[in-house]
Structure 1
Amino acid sequence: MTAQRLRSFCLGLAGAVEDVPFPSAPGLTVFKVESKIFALCALDEDPLTVSLKCDPEEAVRLREAYPSIVPGWHLNKRHWNTVTVGELPQRMVRELVEDSYDLVVATLPRAARLRLDRP
């Protein structure tokens, strides 16, 4: 998966927006839904990596099964994984992004979830 495909996929999720909120890290792009981050990456980085929210038990399982999935870099390592995108099948990367998005959406107030068509 290329950086452009990753960006397009993230922005294709309901209510997702792109932001560069950290002045000290101008190359760090975040993808948010309702002001809550579900993905962080440096789109011009090689290799391309993306940090994604993950269920804590699933995070450990994924790290044990895939060397290209490691604890979130500069994030709460219990809830975030950093994924080297090019080392995993594109379908798996999409599923991990969707899982991260779903975890964030699940924490939103009901009215926000309904606006996103995610009751």
Structure 2
Amino acid sequence: MNTAAVKAYCLAKPEAQEDYPFGTDVQVFKIAGKMFALLSQRAGQPIVNLKCDPNQAFMLRDLFAAVQPGYHMNKKHWNTVLLDGSIPRGELERMIDHSYALVLKGLTKKLRQRLELQYPADSLYAGL
């Protein structure tokens, strides 16, 4: 997946919004004001930072050379994924789904319930 495909996939998530709180060179994707993906470049290489369950984060880092501890993020809960074409599209989409679902789970009960009434559960919690 290239940056345009990652951006499109993130924005297709229910209620996802794009923001630029860190400047124009870092696209931040949020649900209810909470970040689930950050798209930028590091040393000229496109990257995406994604939230991840700690156990899964370490497993993904072992499986894929393009998955590294979160750059400028909590390295226990975030991975940086190099968009170098080495990770299959379906796996990268699953990682985005997982990040989105983790952030969604952390929202207040009231916000979660509102979203759960509006959208099918599989579109919200596909990554869990």
Q: Within 2, Cα distance between the matches of 1:110 and 1:22?
A: 28
Residue 22 of structure 2 is matched in structure 1 by 22
Secondary structure of 1:17's aligned partner: strand
Residue 9 of structure 2 is matched in structure 1 by 9
One-letter amino acid of the structure 2 residue matched with residue 14 of structure 1:
P
Residue 95 of structure 1 is matched in structure 2 by 94
**Identity level (%):** 38
Unaligned runs of 5+ in 1: none
One-letter amino acid of the structure 2 residue matched with residue 4 of structure 1:
A
Q: In the TM superposition, what is the alpha-carbon distance from 1:114 to its structure 2 partner? A: 2.0
**1:74 maps to 2:72:** yes
Q: Deviations over 1:18-44 (max 9, x none)?
A: 000114xx201100000000000117x
Q: In the TM superposition, what is the alpha-carbon distance from 1:46 to its structure 2 partner? A: 4.8
Q: In the TM superposition, what is the alpha-carbon distance from 1:111 to its structure 2 partner? A: 1.6
Unaligned runs of 5+ in 2: none
Q: Give the paired residue count.
A: 116
One-letter amino acid of the structure 1 residue matched with residue 6 of structure 2:
L
Q: Within 2, Cα distance between the matches of 1:91 and 1:116?
A: 25
**1:56 maps to 2:35:** no
Secondary structure of 2:68's aligned partner: strand
TM-score (norm 1): 0.90
Provide runs of 4+ in structure 1 moved above 3 Å.
Answer: none
TM-score (norm 2): 0.84
Q: Within 2, Cα distance between the matches of 1:66 and 1:42?
A: 19
